A and B are shown apart, each in its own frame.
Chain A
Amino acid sequence: MIRQRLIPLVAVATVALAACNSGASTAPSQAAGSAPATAQPSTAASTGTLTVWLMNGSLNDNSVVQLDTDFQVSHPGWKVNYQVQQWNGIVDKLTTALSSNTPPDVVEMGNTQAITFEAAGALADLSSDRADLGGGTSNDSSSDAQLYVASLNSASVYQDKMFALPFYAGDRVLIYRKDLFAAAGIDPASITSKDKLIAAAKTLNQKNASVQDFSGFYQAGQNWYSLLQMIWDRGGSLATQGSDGKWTANLESAQSMQGIQDYVDYYKAGSTGPKDNDEMNPPEYDLFHQGKVGMFVGNGWEIGSAIGTDGKLTADQVGVMAIPSATDGKTVPVFLGGSVLGIAAKSQNQAAALDWLKQLTADSGQQLLISNGWIPSLKSAAANIPDTADTKILKIQAAEAAAGSGFTPNDPRWAGVEANNPIKSMLTQILSGQATIADAAKAADDAINAALNAAQ
């Protein structure tokens, strides 16, 4: 598959190279794209082809057309070749593509994946363009002079250098069936804590006992994203890094184990999710769509799929609220997912790629992200999401994120942990009764420690 895709890529890059040369001849003083100069649009060659990899589901077609039209206006003579990639297996594809001599110019990657490529030198250093890219003057996520949404900034910075542009963020919310809540006499606003959520789940189970495999609160056995939020909610953490750079996994700490216990309690409140599989197998929004689920913790983009297009469910049957904490009245710190955009270090079109990126942190770019249902990359835009019918869910997500969010350990070796995720195994062992929480957490900690401290 990779080979097949690389052929057109090579062709595109060859064309781009040729175009570059012709551009350089008209402006001999500027070696087109050779260095990531502090670019004004004019430093880009006058013609060329830019290859941009976007992930499936990031931007809708209209948005891509709009970005493209804007780029054509400022860069007549340039052509942008947009290629949509699937999330599944993207790290392998990026590894292959970025180490080739003719990589795509701009690549999108998940915020937990970025560090791998930043540390490897696969992405161009954007530090000197930070201000131009809307990021302010500081790399430090906690600084006020740093203008990106904090956890996206963390994903973009490696060893105090900026290697990627934050693209967008998203987080999970509690998606529920308004009509089933009404029929069971539950007021969604009353669900303000873990105990109340469990009580509501049990009521829904009773009222819908006739529906086969119904879950009042559906939770797959291995939804480790959801688990992380419960662990953070109890003050626990996944792993911490000492000043000597050594990682220590913390799942066996008392706080983390309390979070794991919360997960088990939710599961045992009548979830029919598989103990040995995750939230995508089967997709939880599918089960929701089939009417087998009262509520579940899902991403914003899952709502569309949960409603579906066959008329089984309508939009007014589906509601969204923030995920309650174990502490009454609070919400859980959310796992802030999202993605960043990098320029391939070996790209021949650095200046044009940089110009393409700048469009996204302009005001119009930020509004574009909001219209796609994402928390935009700039703190200022995220705090001022307009109040419309379309942005209701997004506002809940942004509020959750503002109240607190967390992230996986920012280390290139983390990808190795996720590839063969010991947290998923831990959950299966606990839920199937093969191990106690303490034993399973210790085993998972050992696996995480080994992977995060492996020699590089």
Chain B
Amino acid sequence: MIGSSTTAEARRDAPGLAEAPSRRRLRAGRLLGRSLPYLALLPALVTFLLLLGYPVLLVVEMSLQHIGLKELISGTTTWVGLSNFQSILGDKLFMAATIRTFVFMAANVALTVVLGTLVALLLDRIGRIPRLLLSIAMVLAWAMPALTGSVVFQWLFDSKLGVVNWALSSLGIFGSWLNHSWFDTGFSTFGIITLLIVWQAIPFVAFSLYGGILAISSDLIEAAKVDGANERQVFRHVTLPGIRPLLMMLAFLSIIWDFKVFTQVFTIRQGGPDGQTITLSIFTYFTGLSQGRFGIAAAVSVVMILLLLIVLVPYIRRMLRTLEDG
């Protein structure tokens, strides 16, 4: 963007080079033109630094201190170096939560992107009325606040009063599901949380990709078909390359969202049963607010940021490359 706008500026300026008196004004104009994008970025940067940069700095500071409720109230803190990090790295619960978070994130991102792509392809194929209905259904799922969605899902899967157990039992195909507890194992609880998160995440992915698919010239698809490509080949060689930059970006956003998701996981079972759905963000909450070990919780947050960066850096580089190629 920056590069293209300055070259356009330069091209437009070229004829003016012949006139000497306007040269200075021209140079000033060129300087302004070159710095304008940066000036335009400035308000966003300042806001970002104030609202995000400062708290992040504070968290890093806290992660190096011993802060309990007592220190928080009296305002006195002691520097403890890296001992908070040492203690969490030696904590089995933290390690378990980390592994859990990655597996959970991978499953959610994969499901969201794959299902979102399929729904986008479906939107492209079906008629006006079904498309409208599907779009409305998705907008509603998307618009539902995470907290509301979580509470609704909790009741849907309630062992006594839940409509899911009733429906499964009424179908009769799978035997009786009356009083089945969906939340008595970590795996089953995660399954329901995943269902909820993916359900609410699909609309964004599907709508974005549908937009991407619409932007692919129909000539290309027709040409491929004339050359004898079947549906699958058209998707692999025409549609997929066309939406690849978008797919990368959506996967990138999903990774961030699913890595740090809190509301749904916490609302459904507060990390239960038996701590089996404690992800890193829940772990931070328990350590910080419930146990009042704010220094340790800050250390967990710092590790979370680092982990996310490690996952994302190669990804950002690939995404930038794809965007440049596109």
Contacts and interface: CB of A to CB of B under 8 A. Distances in A.
Question: Are the chains A and B members of one assembly?
Answer: yes
B168 interface: no
Interface string A416-456: 10011110111011001010000000010001000100111
A425 B274 contact: yes
Contact of A425 (B72, B73, B272): B272
Contacts of A276: 159, 181-184, 273
12 contacts: A95-B69, A95-B292, A274-B179, A274-B181, A275-B179, A276-B181, A419-B286, A419-B291, A420-B278, A422-B275, A426-B274, A455-B87
B253 to A, nearest CB: 26
Given A121-B74, A429-B274, A282 B161 contact: yes
B160 interface: yes
B183 A277 contact: yes
A420 B293 CA distance: 15
Interface in A315-344: none
Nearest to B72: A99
B271 A420 contact: yes
Contacts of B275: 420, 422, 425, 447
B181 A120 contact: no
B69 A99 contact: yes
A226 interface: no
* 9 tightest A-B CB contacts, nearest first: A419-B290, A425-B274, A120-B69, A416-B291, A276-B181, A120-B70, A276-B183, A274-B159, A276-B184
Contacts of A119: 69-70
Given A121-B73, A277-B183, A455-B87, A422 B160 contact: no
Interface string A92-121: 100100110000000000000000110111
B272 A420 contact: yes
Nearest to A122: B73
B74 A434 contact: no
Interface string B27-65: 000000000000000000000000000000000000000
Given A91-B289, A415-B291, 20 more contacts: A95-B69, A99-B72, A117-B69, A119-B70, A120-B292, A122-B73, A213-B160, A275-B159, A275-B184, A276-B159, A277-B158, A412-B69, A415-B290, A416-B286, A416-B291, A420-B272, A424-B273, A429-B184, A454-B293, A456-B293
Given A420-B271, A425-B273, A274 B158 contact: yes
B68 interface: yes
A420 B286 CA distance: 8
Best-surrounded residue of B73, B158, B161, B293 (most CB of chain A within 10 A): B73
A347 interface: no
Contacts of B292: 95, 116, 120, 412, 415-416
A277 B159 contact: yes
Interface string B152-166: 000000111100000
Contacts of A454: 291, 293
Contact of B290 (A120, A420, A455): A420
Nearest to B273: A425
Which bucket holds chain B's interface residue count? Answer: 20 to 34
Contacts of A422: 274-275
A99 B158 contact: no
Contacts of A429: 184, 273-274
Contacts of A434: 184-185
B270 interface: yes
A184 B68 CA distance: 57
Contacts of B73: 98-99, 120-122, 345-346
B17 to A, nearest CB: 57
Contacts of B289: 91-92, 95
A299 to B, nearest CB: 21
Interface string B161-182: 1000000000000000001011
Nearest to B159: A274
Contact of A274 (B74, B87, B160, B286): B160
A379 interface: no
A413 interface: yes
Contacts of A151: none
B41 to A, nearest CB: 28
A154 interface: no
B290 A91 contact: yes
Contacts of B69: 95, 99, 116-117, 119-120, 122, 412
Contact of B273 (A116, A117, A428): A428
A420 B274 CA distance: 8
Contacts of A412: 69, 292
A277 B158 CA distance: 9
Contacts of A282: 158, 160-161
Contacts of B160: 213, 272-274, 282
A206 to B, nearest CB: 19
Nearest to B161: A282
A58 to B, nearest CB: 23
A150 B258 CA distance: 48
Interface in B181-223: 181-185
Contacts of B184: 275-276, 428-429, 432, 434
A362 B72 CA distance: 35
A281 B151 CA distance: 11
B272 A456 contact: no
A451 B275 CA distance: 13
Contacts of A416: 286, 290-292
A120 B291 contact: no
A188 B181 CA distance: 33
A420 B270 contact: yes
Contacts of A272: 160, 179
A139 B72 CA distance: 28
Contacts of A428: 181, 184, 273-274
A282 B291 CA distance: 28
A282 B272 CA distance: 17
B119 to A, nearest CB: 32
Nearest to A273: B160
A447 B161 CA distance: 31
Interface in B245-282: 270-275, 278
